[in-house]
Amino acid sequence: MIEAEIKALIQKELPRAIAEEPGVRDFVLRTVSEYYTPRTEFDEKFD
């Protein structure tokens, strides 16, 4: 499987996996959390 096929498969399957598999959802959230401000922190900045 080449890189483009892997990316396409992830894009196709990830939404379902996030919705149906708590372990996958938690993994994704932990992985991206360092790149995004949590909603509570974001909201506090505009209060």
- Number of structural domains in the chain: 1
- Greatest Cα pair distance in the chain: 49
| Residue 6 reports pLDDT greater than 90 | yes
Give the HSE-up count for residue 15: Cα atoms under 13 Å, Cβ half-sphere.
3
Kindly report, residue by residue over 27-43, the tens digit of the pLDDT.
Answer: 999 999 888 777 776 66
Q: Which domain holds residue 18?
A: 3-45
* SS3 state of residue 11: helix
The fraction of the chain above a pLDDT of 70, given in percent, is 83
**Per-state percent for the chain, helix, strand, coil, to nearest 5:** 75, 0, 25
